Amino acid sequence: MMDDAAKPTAMETLLATLDLEPIEVDIFRGRSPQVGWQRVFGGQVIGQALMAAQRTIEAERFVHSLHAYFMRPGDPSVPIVYQVERIRDGSSFNTRRVVAIQHGKAIFALSCSFQIEEPGFDHQLAMPDVLMPETLLGEQQIKEQYLAHAPAAVRKYWERERPIEIRPVSLTHYLSDKKLDPRQDVWVRATGPVPDSRHYQAAVLAYLSDMTLLDTSLYAHGTSIFDQSLQVASLDHSMWFHRPDKLEDWLLYTQDSPSACGARGLTRGSLFTRSGVLIASVAQEGLIRKKANE
């Protein structure tokens, strides 16, 4: 029986999950951690698909954007096969398309673009003025002070060991059915070392970019992704990588939802370093549908 000292950390498990097995030219196999999830976390599939694409690219070229569609829920009990198609290899840019397959069917598709590093115009929007992570409740404090009376789904989410620590600037959304402005600020950070590799750093950033987004589109309606009467799922996901970061410190994930309609909610996100450097932008549309009465 494995003791706690030998048990891999959540971050070590994530990095092992991103270390895909090559099984043929431009074909890779990925596995999911066996942690009791009913379906594969969307951020995992994004990160694995990006890693598969990166392994077909020259070392000095780096991802600058990705666009993905979730088509079927992933089954965590079986491997995912990633097939990479080399769409274009140009003098400055490379394009890849990746399809994730389980049980003989596509569950996810991603297109991504890579570029050589080159100088150019440089500007960014300012980071919002929010409380620093050290002034906020940590996950252990949240568990001790709030979880005893929280719904079971909320408790289960916060009690699970994760490779990414989350510190919301406000906890009102989790504890109230009050209708709020559809925006939130969340500090996030890796719970363990990330390799000094731009490829791994991009894949981990893609992984965490899928966290908390869908919830923002529910703020205006006084509910959350933990509402058992809702069917909630990511539909698509886009991400732009502006500037590299080693993921050694907290990042501010600031989010807003400009629209929800037609059983879909759109959320935009910006990821800033503590010092205010914008490293990535994100957009995601998700399904937010009331379940039919049984």
Residues labelled as active-site residues: 210, 234, 284
Between CA 231 and CA 292 the distance in angstroms is 10
Tokens of 206: 């893609």
Q: Which segments within 169-242 are labelled E, that is strand?
A: 183-190, 230-241
Tokens of 138: 């940590």
- Total number of residues shown for the chain: 294
Residue spans of alpha helices (H) in the chain: 10-18, 42-54, 139-146, 152-159, 172-175, 198-208, 213-216
Between CA 111 and CA 97 the distance in angstroms is 4
Are 65 and 241 within 8 A, CB to CB?
yes
Query: Can you tell me whether residue 250 is helix, strand or coil?
Result: coil
